[in-house]
Structure 1
Amino acid sequence: MRTSTSERGDPAARRRAALTAFLKAEARDKGFDACAVTTPDAIPEAPGRLRAFLDAGHHGSMGWMADTAARRADPATLWSGVRAIAVFTMNYGPEEDPRAVLSLPDRGAISVYARNRDYHDVIKGRLKEVATRFAARSGEEVKVFVDTAPVMEKPLAASAGLGWQGKHTNLVSRDHGSWLFLGSMFTAAELDPDAPEADHCGSCSACLSACPTDAFPAPYRIDARRCISYLTIEHKGRIDPEFRPRIGNRIYGCDDCLAACPWNKFAQSASEIRLKARDDLNAPPLAFLLGLDDAGFRSYFSGSPIKRIGRDRFVRNVLIAAGNSGDPSLAPLCAGLCRDGAPVVRAMAVWAARRLMDADAFAALKTRCRDESDDDVLLEWKDGC
């Protein structure tokens, strides 16, 4: 590495350069596609944007975002001793367009990131290895985060030059596209910050046009309450009837805006670590998923991030996909779930059964379920009558 005259004469500058180079080399060695450095005060516009998002109610039921807003907006509030922040990326892009499964209505579409073992475990384990070696080399304290603390990783990644926040609000890299896992390391060590990346979206609006539920009120803004990823993962209750047909067969998350990004065609992973999807999660049959009880769900999704939402919320999503499938062979399974122990499952089972059964069969089912007492389920029985 060529050093400047000032660095050769300044021990502190030499130390910063050496530690920064060491950190980036360790990141490459542990399988990260990129690592760049920023400072805790590099995102002054983030608090205002976050406040506007919260004030508009676009966070939906994610109350934790409002509860942690102060710490989320200022990294120094999270840890007063931080002097530099390193952000790490790992590309998880699929080899084929994940939207192909949308043409198979009897199969479930699972977001690409969730088709492998939990990315928190994949990223955090490697990040801890990097951080441990860096702490030993620098003698300074470090803290690592992978979506487990109120860290605004996307703005920090943009300020570090790893990409820019695209019109879909996700990070986009000219080198690695839109399929990026992010992690961060806070450190008390002084490091050389990288320059931020410019926005290269231009006039393109492919990601906005691709959204099935019109979740983007404007470029660079998202209303989570309309986002299929939010509805199928974060939202816990009855899903608004407006969105159910638009969800299609997406049973966990949605990749449409990411998959539509033109920068993906330039993406190459520098890592030899490929996060290969489980074959049985690429397009699992809805009939099989509808039959999962709690034990079966936990076993089937062991090690997967899907396990975190629980069986009831997941089967709710599968029932919406079944109702959209037009496949009458799924009707008996949906009818059986009208007697499930979870109200959220019963509610969506009623909706799915109505769409798949003829009027007489559905009327007979309603008679068998006349002892229903849950308000949300009763509302589903009433709707469409």
Structure 2
Amino acid sequence: MAGRRAGVADLCGPRLLSNTDLIAPAELKAALIETAHALGFDQLGVTRPEATAERAQYFLDFIASGGHGDMDWLAREPQRRTDPRTLWSEVRSVIMLGVNYGPDEDPLAVLQARSHGAISVYARGDDYHDVIKKQLKALARWLVATASCDVKVFIDTAAVMEKPLSQAAGIGWQGKHTNLVSRGFGSWLFLGAIYTTLGLPCDTPEIDHCGSCRACLESCPTAAFPAPYQLDARRCISYLTIENKGPIPHEFRKAMGNRIYGCDDCLAACPWNKFAQEGREAKLAARDALRAPSLADLAGLDDPAFRALFSKSPVKRVGRDRFIRNVLIAIGNSDDPTLVASAERLLADPSPLVRGAAVWALAQLLPPEAFAKLATTALPSEQDQSVRDEWRLASRE
């Protein structure tokens, strides 16, 4: 659990000089934990910056395999990611923090409502980057004011290996799905980091508690795990719906179902989640409008309406066209003939990415004769080759 005082492995530094008094490192850490909880953090652990050295090769192998897909920033200057001291040479302690975002309902229930879209749990409320960064900065300001030091704050936007650092700090362990698993909160933790020049007592690293369980691996709709603890992002629905800028590869379209932003299957399958549901309140509430939105309503969004609906949401970062692409794949998987009109209207969309996805959706929903008739009127006026290819491929299926 966060802030446990037992299991402190050693002291990373000497007594600390505050503005007025000498404070013992353990006393400072206890106050740090109390303050973190008051600010809304659920877990806190401390580790050395060199603690993840043994995990560096796993990351380098992942990049070498190409498993990161088009996420080029991961491959940029890998040394900065594998060693915190390369990012900031003065860091002496790394404070890792976790915030519970466990859902208050079955996150996979929406997958059965195929005329509605499934948005990943973490994206159903305000952007966690903005919310948690404010908390991290507040905690960092307290630490600077309490004990003279320098700090740097990170929340999933810099070259920081949050999950290995969190395991080294005792918060949880990297499960077979490569995400962090906590004994107290299952697979539902947002992570943040504070690098500091202070020497603080280090927590005992967490051990792997996955055992023989393969629930997360077997739950993946696209077989994105070539082996336990290995992810091929190019097959991951979260990657395909968020990071992928082009058309959804045909081999994954059916498997996407109605997942229109991210995928929770491997997270939701984790047996450790039962502890996250026992009286623990998620800190970031879901918006009702994003729990199971109607595909028909989403398909009608133009850019201003998209921006308004997803204001302060991480979904907004993918842009309207990529999002509507995802919605159209879900429409094609819906088996709902009432959605034909929504898809047909988008054949005239300015975006070739949207038009191509609309072609595929209509090919799934319309009888072959009706689709062929539609192709004879729409294909001659289509100028984009990628969309023309979608028409031809769909006509042959």
Same fold at TM > 0.5: yes
Name the SS of the counterpart of 2:143 in structure 1: helix
- 1:273, distance to aligned residue in structure 2 (A): 6.2
Match of 1:135 among 144, 164, 176: 144
Verify: 1:372 aligned to 2:382, yes or no. Answer: yes
Name the SS of the counterpart of 1:362 in structure 2: helix
Task: Give yes or no for contact 1:319–1:348 (8 Å, CA) kept in 2.
Answer: yes
Q: Letter of the 1:333 partner, please give it.
A: S
What is the CA–CA distance in structure 2 between the aligned matches of 1:312 and 1:261, rounded to whole Å? 33
Q: In the TM superposition, what are the counterparts of 1:340-355 in structure 2 within 5 Å?
A: 340-355=349-364
What is the CA–CA distance in structure 1 between the aligned matches of 2:362 and 2:55, rounded to whole Å? 45
Residue-pair matches, total: 381
- Which residue is 2:112 aligned to? 103
What is the CA–CA distance in structure 2 between the aligned matches of 1:139 and 1:313, rounded to whole Å? 47
Distance 1:268 1:31, change over 3 A: farther
Match of 1:310 among 304, 315, 319: 319
Task: Give yes or no for contact 2:180–2:189 (8 Å, CA) kept in 1.
Answer: yes
What is the CA–CA distance in structure 1 between the aligned matches of 2:279 and 2:148, rounded to whole Å? 29
Q: Letter of the 2:333 partner, please give it.
A: N
Task: Give yes or no for contact 1:177–1:263 (8 Å, CA) kept in 2.
Answer: yes
- Which residue is 1:88 aligned to? 97
Tell me the TM-score normalised to structure 2 length.
0.92
Distance 1:11 1:79, change over 3 A: closer
Task: Give yes or no for contact 1:33–1:269 (8 Å, CA) kept in 2.
Answer: no
Name the SS of the counterpart of 2:381 in structure 1: coil
- Which residue is 1:229 aligned to? 238
- Which residue is 1:31 aligned to? 40
Match of 1:190 among 185, 199, 202: 199
Tell me the TM-score normalised to structure 1 length.
0.95
Task: Give yes or no for contact 2:40–2:283 (8 Å, CA) kept in 1.
Answer: no
- Which residue is 1:58 aligned to? 67
What is the CA–CA distance in structure 1 between the aligned matches of 2:387 and 2:25, rounded to whole Å? 61
Match of 1:214 among 213, 223, 235: 223
- Which residue is 1:167 aligned to? 176
Could you tell me the percent identity over the aligned residues?
56
What is the CA–CA distance in structure 2 between the aligned matches of 1:34 and 1:23, rounded to whole Å? 11
Verify: 1:294 aligned to 2:303, yes or no. Answer: yes
- Which residue is 2:19 aligned to? none
What is the CA–CA distance in structure 2 between the aligned matches of 1:96 and 1:245, rounded to whole Å? 25
Task: Give yes or no for contact 1:28–1:271 (8 Å, CA) kept in 2.
Answer: no
Deviations 1:73-117 (A, max 9, x none): 111111111000000001110122110011111000000000000
- 1:188, distance to aligned residue in structure 2 (A): 0.6
- Which residue is 1:381 aligned to? 391
Name the SS of the counterpart of 1:383 in structure 2: helix
Q: Letter of the 1:376 partner, please give it.
A: S
Q: Letter of the 2:273 partner, please give it.
A: N
Distance 1:270 1:14, change over 3 A: farther
- 1:340, distance to aligned residue in structure 2 (A): 0.8
Which structure 2 residue ranges, 5 or more long, are not aligned? 17-21
Name the SS of the counterpart of 2:229 in structure 1: coil
Q: Letter of the 1:134 partner, please give it.
A: L
What is the CA–CA distance in structure 1 between the aligned matches of 2:359 and 2:117, rounded to whole Å? 19
Bigger drift between 246-255 and 92-101 goes to 92-101
What is the CA–CA distance in structure 1 between the aligned matches of 2:73 and 2:350, rounded to whole Å? 28
Distance 1:270 1:184, change over 3 A: farther
Deviations 1:311-330 (A, max 9, x none): 00000000000000011111
Which structure 1 residue ranges, 5 or more long, are not aligned? none
- 1:294, distance to aligned residue in structure 2 (A): 0.4
Distance 1:45 1:262, change over 3 A: same
What is the CA–CA distance in structure 1 between the aligned matches of 2:286 and 2:278, rounded to whole Å? 16
Q: Letter of the 1:371 partner, please give it.
A: S
Name the SS of the counterpart of 1:42 in structure 2: helix
Name the SS of the counterpart of 1:193 in structure 2: strand
Match of 2:76 among 67, 72, 75: 67
What is the CA–CA distance in structure 1 between the aligned matches of 2:262 and 2:369, rounded to whole Å? 35
Verify: 1:246 aligned to 2:263, yes or no. Answer: no
- 1:271, distance to aligned residue in structure 2 (A): 7.1
- 1:204, distance to aligned residue in structure 2 (A): 0.4
Name the SS of the counterpart of 2:260 in structure 1: strand
Name the SS of the counterpart of 1:98 in structure 2: coil
